[in-house]
Amino acid sequence: MAFHIVFVEPEIPPNTGNIARSCAATGSVLHLVKPLGFSIDDKSLRRAGLDYWPYVKLEVHESLADFMKKYGPEGESRRMYLATTKGKHRYTDIAYQDEDMILFGRETAGLPRDFIAAHKEYAIRIPMSENTRLRSLNLANSANIILFEALRQLGFPGLE
C-alpha cells in the first residue's frame, strides 16, 4: 500500500524536505521531477528532512515527459491527480486508491498550463476563500492535506 507524491520542478528545499518526512512516516513514495531549484544534497533540504532521508522511497525523473513515459498511458498507467488551484474537483471528492499519484507543481507557477489542460478531468483543488489575495497554499502543506485525506479514506493502512 503506497501513495505517490510527485513534486514537478520544486524550487524551495524546505518544502521538499518537509514532504519527504511525511512520505517516510506514511510509506509513501516521493517523486522529484527535474529541473530542481536546488541540489538534493542541499543543506536546507537535509535539515528539513532531518534524519528521515534513509527511509524515503525516492524516485528522481529527468523531466515531466520522462515521468509520464514511465507512469502515464505509455507506461505503467497509474491513476494521477493534478493538485492545482484551477481544479474543478475538490480533493475530498476523489475516492483514492492504492498506488494513486498526486502531482504538484512549482511553488511559483504550479503545474504547466498545457499539462493541466490535457488532463483537466483529473485536476483537483483545496478550497480556499475567494476573498483573499493568496494565490495558493504552501506546497508541502497542500501535499500533506491531500495525502492524509487519501490515507484517511483507506483507514490509514499500516499506520498506528
Residue 136, pLDDT score: 78
Segments of the chain with pLDDT less than 50: none
Q: Model-level pTM greater than 0.85?
A: yes
What the block records as the C-alpha cell of 132 is 483573499
Residue 139, pLDDT score: 94
Buried (b) or exposed (e) across 65-103, using 16+ Cβ within 10 A? eebbeebbeeeeeeebbbbbeebeeebeebebeeebbbb
Closest CA to 73 of 9, 119, 5: 119
Residue 11, pLDDT score: 95
Residue 42, pLDDT score: 57
DSSP state at residue 40: T
The fourth-level CATH superfamily of domain 4-153 is: SPOUT methyltransferase, trefoil knot domain (3.40.1280.10)
